[in-house]
Structure 1
């Protein structure tokens, strides 16, 4: 090997080492600034059963959170969304809440009311919605149901019977109605 090729090899090797060190430092910084605080927060939440955090292609994170049923999950969802916004700054994140163990009765009950929910969300006639839903859901023998108005474009439906529970987030801003964005 001549001296010119040897110098060229050292320059190329040095560039790869520098690039590797840069990615290592960036990864450590990213983990310390975002992943660690987010993981600590989610682990401290009572209703959070499990979660998964992955980087996405939009310089943000895909965060999947599994929640335990609680009659007032609306407060938990809003708190988690707000804290994620605080921790992750202006990153483009996709937040997905997983939270149901639905059965046929719950699916049928949701199907029976979903048109009313969408109409109320579009028109803002929530008191009429509640009256209609009360009448419809009487026949489904549910232990508990609630509809929370999170914002003018977001509703959270919670239903529970002896065999399971269903929670559904109706959100105009997300790809799937059972997801939220942070």
Structure 2
């Protein structure tokens, strides 16, 4: 009887702890992602409407412990501008969406996860593939534990189209040109 009571007490104490330490897959709960840049006419921004994320993250009672893996896939033709269909067409041509319909990011290594108040400063390294060209990139990301065990990751990353062998889109026989530098903005929420 004493052993049975001990077993019940141990189970009652350990089970919640095991449920809290959660290495495993998280699903995409929500996202906001966009790409912005400049042109000779105006600044521009295009929203991303189709994203999928696969991740394996470890969280325990002390908070975010590890990002074991993460991959992000963007449907390139889901990138749409507020400036209309002509801008979308030019964007998709630059991205070579007929040949390369997906933009992908694959995490290769986490350099550091540093608690900063209620957030985490994360330094990540990964491979970004755009228009068929894969390049290593580093990113500084803000992580935050949300209610319900969800996690948010926010950040911005400046890129040069020419690094990915893309030609900056032009219009009106070259009189309107976009700048070579773009910024990717992301805010994703993952959870179980």
Same fold, TM-score > 0.5, yes or no: no
Report the TM-score, using the length of structure 1 for normalisation.
Answer: 0.33
Instruction: Report 1 or 2 for greater relative contact order, CA contacts < 8 Å, sequence distance ≥ 6.
Output: 2
Report the TM-score, using the length of structure 2 for normalisation.
Answer: 0.31
Structure with greater helix share of residues: 1
Structure with greater strand share of residues: 2
Query: Which entry has the higher C-alpha Rg, 1 or 2?
Result: 1
